[in-house]
A and B are shown apart, each in its own frame.
Chain A
């Protein structure tokens, strides 16, 4: 290929990748954020528990989309597989095991719900106040993360590389121990006779 064309192509590529953000990204962000918050609201207000679980799945999937926008494809995959695939199936199993017909006729909220609502609203106001006051603490720059080697870098932090232990290898083993204890606890909890 003609070297002049080649350099021209390269500079063109550079200007498109480094010069400006992808078109329409804010719209995707606002759509995903609105979907997450609206379905999160449905989770805590539906009378039917199965509807709550389905709304929670929508929330989890839209949060996974937000992870993709943050250049975290591995965390997005874990979110979809572990949360939307594993935990929600567990929830639906338990909802089927306990009877839900009775809850149709009962109150959804407990007696002191105004107190809880007021406290949570105060917490949200505090969050927004802190974010508005602490705006300089959160710089506007977004560092470029290498998306193509994301999984590889997370793996080398978790498992180590070239025979050395990674930074989080010990924490990873502790997490596996936690999972073992949780499995044993769940099995013993649900046994009729120990």
Chain B
């Protein structure tokens, strides 16, 4: 059996990243779009930790913690915007959020 190398982890992370991109580009519900962004950030974290293992130091793991902090901040502000928008417009579909489009 082939031993698991860094490239294996990179392929898994690429698959998760592309799934997140598909979700962002195609779904209409803005909550699912935010969840897809979480998928993307998780793929980035997996890459960082795999490279940290490859080089034998911990810089990648520390950086993945910073990415997690970023994801938390993004989720909090994004969901706040969703609630504020739903209160005004009664919808959470991204293609109906077009106030700034002319």
Contacts and interface: CB of A to CB of B under 8 A. Distances in A.
A145 B75 CA distance: 32
A123 B92 CA distance: 28
Contact of A150 (B27, B46, B58, B66): B58
B69 A75 contact: no
A43 B35 contact: yes
B92 to A, nearest CB: 5
B6 to A, nearest CB: 5
A153 B66 contact: no
B77 interface: yes
A83 B68 contact: yes
A43 B5 contact: no
Interface string A54-93: 0010011001001101111011001100110011001100
Interface residues of A, number: 85
B19 A37 contact: yes
Question: What's the dominant secondary structure at chain A's contact region?
Answer: helix
Contacts of A37: 12, 15-16, 19
Contacts of B18: 120-121, 123-124, 127
Interface in B48-102: 49-50, 52-59, 61-62, 64-66, 68-77, 79-84, 86-87, 92-95
Contacts of B74: 182
Interface residues of B, number: 74
Interface string B1-39: 111111111111011111111110111110110111011
B15 to A, nearest CB: 5
B14 A143 contact: no
A60 B70 contact: no
B74 to A, nearest CB: 8
Given A75-B61, A143-B54, A186-B80, A26 B23 contact: no
A182 B53 contact: no
Contact of B27 (A53, A69, A108): A108
Given A131-B11, A139-B6, A182-B77, 7 more contacts: A40-B39, A43-B19, A63-B16, A83-B71, A87-B72, A154-B65, A190-B84
28 contacts: A40-B20, A43-B35, A44-B36, A52-B31, A59-B16, A59-B39, A59-B42, A63-B46, A70-B50, A71-B53, A72-B52, A75-B65, A83-B71, A91-B31, A91-B35, A95-B31, A110-B26, A110-B28, A116-B25, A119-B25, A120-B21, A127-B14, A128-B14, A138-B6, A140-B5, A150-B58, A154-B58, A178-B73
